[in-house]
Structure 1
């Protein structure tokens, strides 16, 4: 996900919006569990070792549980990923003007 903030936002959506799984450090449970490895299970590794191992700050580690069909699980995951996309710019037409202003807006989530 690139950054720890984006990883946390994705996990927030996966847990609270789509009920895909639970944020947890232990990945030995029958339900889907996920964590941000760089700040949890691998946090004691030196940064250069994490980089060599490919553990970026935004890496989300998952243990996908067996509840639900593959299609259901995939749909939940895709819905959460879609929420990570920036919203399309809103266009405001000013009466009598030849220009359009776009508001980027921000959607910042914390878990």
Structure 2
């Protein structure tokens, strides 16, 4: 997403308007979860370590749960990305 602000806005959109999943700091759950890695799970890493690992400020990490099919989740995500990009 490029920035933490845009990543958080995108995850909020996925959660609140498309019911794709839930924003979380940990990705261990049966529902689909997402987090902005640079400001959560990888926040203990230095900027240089994050850069070396390919973790950018707006990186959104997702854990697809087992509610629904993979095809349903993929379709939801594709539609959400298109609409989000039109809006923001």
Same fold (TM over 0.5): yes
Cα distance in 2 for residues equivalent to 1:75 and 1:16:
17
Residue 20 of structure 1 corresponds to: 20
Instruction: State the SS of the aligned residue for 1:30.
Output: coil
- Flag structure 2 segments of 5+ consecutive residues without an equivalent: none
* CA RMSD between the two structures: 1.3
Of 33-42 and 66-75, deviating more is: 66-75
The answer (yes or no) to whether the contact 1:9–1:84 under 8 Å persists in 2 is: no
Q: Which has the larger radius of gyration?
A: 1
How big is the shift at 1:52? 0.5
Structure with the higher fraction of residues in strand conformation: 1
Residue 29 of structure 1 corresponds to: 29
Structure with the higher fraction of residues in helix conformation: 2
The answer (yes or no) to whether the contact 1:11–1:34 under 8 Å persists in 2 is: yes
Residue 44 of structure 2 corresponds to: 44
Q: TM-score, normalised by structure 1?
A: 0.73
Q: How many residues are aligned here?
A: 88
In the TM superposition, structure 1's runs of 4+ consecutive aligned residues that sit over 3 Å from their partners are none
